Amino acid sequence: SQQGEEDPQALSIQEGENATMNCSYKTSINNLQWYRQNSGRGLVHLILIRSNEREKHSGRLRVTLDTSKKSSSLLITASRAADTASYFCATDGGSGAGSYQLTFGKGTKLSVIP
C-alpha cells in the first residue's frame, strides 16, 4: 500500500524564506529518505534518517522524524530559486524480506520565487 503522503502538495514561497514539507506514513519503517526531483529529471537523494534518529541536518536541510506519529518533516532554510523542485519522501518496508524496497509519496512541489 502507498506510504509517505506528503503535504502540502504544492508550496510557493519567496526566496530567503524557509520551506517546510511534511510526510506521513502508515507502517513501521527502518528509515525514511527525502529526495528532490527537478522537473522531468531523475531523483537526487537528499538525506536519510533512521528510525532511531529524531533529527538530522545537512547544509540548509533539516529533517525530523517522529515514529510515534509516523511523520517526518523536511525544512529548507534560506530558500533559493534553485530549490524549486518536487520533494518526495520514501519509506522502506520495515522488517521482512522486502524491506529494501522504497515506497514513495506523491511529493510536494516547491516553487521559490526570486
Stretch that binds another protein, among 15-23, 25-33, 63-71, 76-84 (CB under 8 A): 25-33
- Our CB check for another protein shows the closer of 83 and 92 to be 92
Q: Report phi then psi at 49, rounded to 5.
A: -125, 130
Task: Report if residue 10 touches another protein, rule: CB under 8 A.
Answer: no
The reply to whether 3 sits near another protein by the rule CB under 8 A is: no
3-state secondary structure of 99: coil
- State yes or no: residue 88 binds another protein (CB under 8 A): yes
- Residues in the interface with another protein (CB under 8 A) total 22
16, 26, 44, 80: residue in contact with another protein (rule CB under 8 A): 44
CB 108 within 8 A of CB 8: yes
Cα separation, 54 vs 49, in Å, equals 8
H-helix or E-strand spanning residue 11: strand 10-14
Spatial distance between the Cα atoms of 97 and 88, rounded to a whole number of angstroms: 24
59 binds another protein (CB under 8 A): no
Q: 50 or 80: whose CB is closer to another protein?
A: 50
